[in-house]
Amino acid sequence: MDRVLFGDNQFFGVNHMSEEKARTQAMQFQNISAVISVLDDAYAEGIRTFMCTTHARISEVCDHFRANPEKYPDYKFYPCLPYAHKYANAAAEHGVLGAIRSFLPQENALGALLKGGVSLARKDVEGLANLLIDAELKMFAGLNTPIIFLQNVATDFLLGLGFDEAFRIFADCVRERYHAEPAFITMNAPMLAERLEKIGIKNPIICANINKLGFRMCGGIPAYEKLIAEGRCRLVAMSVFASGALPPREALEYVCGYPQIEAIVFGASSRRNIAQTKKLIDELTEGSAPSAPQRRAAGA
């Protein structure tokens, strides 16, 4: 996993601090070429991984990368699924089951639909989950997706329900069908880590808010610091600036102060901000102790 990953919230009108800013960004990135231009800026700054939702518009980004392999020879996508709002909106319109049905593959019709129908009828959650995962990941066909994340709304909803089997189903599907590493986004990292361990998912990749403010770090900062120190999972820190509430250097000093954190994901809209953040992470990372994988690689 690269040290710095590029996120996509800024492209889709997600801003945890201001709806006005979110709308301005949605307008700015209305045209997919504006998104690609920012990804190019990030690439030029040495960021080779795009961690993105399965929002319908990402498929246009995928088309671009598929069409230009020589321009991005070493590029990686980390898809995060499902894109939850489309399910939530569909559930309000069609009911919970209707929403699931509406996202089962339409084309390749007979086989997929039959399989979906059978899965629904037999309460075969695994078959159904595989179909939904396939539908979400279709846009990434032919691209390098070495890690696939389960979005936090799904992870945390299932975590709360105690639907632990779903994590295993997700992990198996990602490993077997996509030859990728399963990963989990959560707002409840200490609780999730414990649960995943219990069902035998060892040393999982977990992406969680890690910031000095404790913003959306359920379980509290001490529990997170304990989790980080124990090194039982591979951590990706997100929301490191707490949506802009923290000044960049102060925010990154805190996160980079934990060498166990393997990667940092952030989103930005301008070359200047991307460059500044990347430079700061590199600077603060070099100054810190080697990370857990580096230590392992060194035989420590």
Partner 1 sequence: MLKAGIIGLGKMGLSHQSMVNAHPEMKLVAVCDTSAYVLDVLSKYTGVKTYSDYKKMLSEEQLDCVFIATPSRYHEAVVTAALERNLHVFCEKPFALDPATGFRLADLAERKGLTNQVGYHYRFIAAFNEAKRLLDQKLIGELHHIRAEAYGPVVLRAKGSTWRSQKSEGGGCLFDYSCHAIDLMNYLVGRPTTVSGTVINKVFSSDVDDEIYSTFQFGKNLFGQLATNWSDESYRKMSVKVSIWGTNGRINVDRQEVQAYVRHLAKPVDGISEGWNVRYTTELTHPVWFYVRGEEYSAQIDHFVHCIKTSATPLSTFRTASDASLVAASMRVDAEKPRTQVSTQIAQGESAFEPGNFAPRPRSFVRTLFDRLQRTNG
Contacts with partner 1, residue ranges (CB under 8 A): 12-19, 22, 85, 88-89, 91-98, 120, 123, 125, 153, 156-163, 165-166, 187-188, 191, 213-220, 242-245
What is the nearest approach in angstroms of partner 1 to the Cβ of residue 260?
A: 23
What is the nearest approach in angstroms of partner 1 to the Cβ of residue 208?
A: 11
What is the nearest approach in angstroms of partner 1 to the Cβ of residue 162?
A: 5
One-letter-per-residue 3-state SS of the chain: CCCEEECCHHHHCCCCCCHHHHHHHHHHCCCHHHHHHHHHHHHHCCCCEEEEECCCCHHHHHHHHHHCCCCCCCCEEEEEECCHHHHHHHHHHHHHHHHHHHCCCCCCHHHHHHHHHHHHHCCCHHHHHHHHHHHHHHHHCCCCCCEEEECHHHHHHHHHHCCCHHHHHHHHHHHHHHCCEEEEEECCHHHHHHHHHHCCCCCCEEEEECCCCCCCCCCCHHHHHHHHHHCCCEEEEECCCHHHCCCHHHHHHHHHCCCCEEEEEECCCCHHHHHHHHHHHHHHHHCCCCCHHHHHHCCC
- CB-nearer residue toward partner 1: 142 or 162: 162
What is the nearest approach in angstroms of partner 1 to the Cβ of residue 262?
A: 23
- CB-nearer residue toward partner 1: 1 or 14: 14
- CB-nearer residue toward partner 1: 2 or 164: 164
- CB-nearer residue toward partner 1: 220 or 293: 220
What is the nearest approach in angstroms of partner 1 to the Cβ of residue 166?
A: 7
- CB-nearer residue toward partner 1: 115 or 216: 216
